[in-house]
C-alpha cells in the first residue's frame, strides 16, 4: 500500500501553472479498487479492521452531509418565502394607496 503510494507521488510532479496537469496527477495517485474475494488473503486483519473503520467514518460523513443539505434546502425555501411574502405585501399595499388620486 505505502510502496504504491510512494511510487505514484514520486512520479507525479505538480506544477502550479497547469490545472490540467494537477488534475491528471491526482487521478494517477488514486489507488485501484480492491476486490475482497481476490485480495482478502493478502490483507492482514489490522488492514481489514482499518477498512471497516474508514467505511464507518465515510458513512457518517455522508449522513452528516445529507442532513446539512436538507437543512440548507429548508433555509433557502424559508428565505424565499419571506422574500415573496414581502414582495406580495408591498404590491398589495401599493394598490390600496390613493394619495396620488387626491392631488388631481
pLDDT digits (tens, 9 = 90+) for 6-55: 444 444 444 444 444 445 555 556 666 767 677 667 778 888 889 899 99
How far is the C-alpha of 58 from the C-alpha of 53, rounded, in Å?
9
Domain shared by 55 and 86, yes or no: yes
Q: Is 51 inside a domain boundary? A: yes
Count CA within 13 A, CB hemisphere, residue 10.
Answer: 6
Domain shared by 61 and 94, yes or no: yes
Which residues form the domain of 48? 42-104
Residue 98 confidence class, pLDDT cut points 50, 70, 90: low
Q: Is 79 inside a domain boundary? A: yes
Q: Is 84 inside a domain boundary? A: yes
Tell me if the pTM is above 0.85: no
Q: Is 11 inside a domain boundary? A: yes
Q: Is 37 inside a domain boundary? A: no
Domain shared by 28 and 49, yes or no: no
Radius of gyration of the chain (CA): 29
Amino acid at each position: 500500500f505505502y510502496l504504491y503510494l510512494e511510487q505514484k507521488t514520486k512520479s507525479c510532479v505538480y506544477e502550479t501553472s497547469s490545472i490540467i496537469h494537477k488534475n491528471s496527477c491526482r487521478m494517477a495517485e488514486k489507488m485501484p479498487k480492491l476486490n475482497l474475494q481476490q485480495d482478502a488473503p493478502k490483507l492482514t486483519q489490522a488492514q481489514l479492521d482499518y477498512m471497516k473503520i474508514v467505511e464507518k467514518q465515510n458513512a457518517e460523513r455522508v449522513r452528516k452531509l445529507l442532513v446539512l443539505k436538507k437543512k440548507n434546502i429548508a433555509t433557502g425555501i424559508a428565505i424565499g418565502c419571506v422574500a415573496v411574502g414581502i414582495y406580495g405585501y408591498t404590491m398589495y399595499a401599493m394598490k390600496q394607496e390613493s394619495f396620488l388620486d387626491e392631488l388631481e
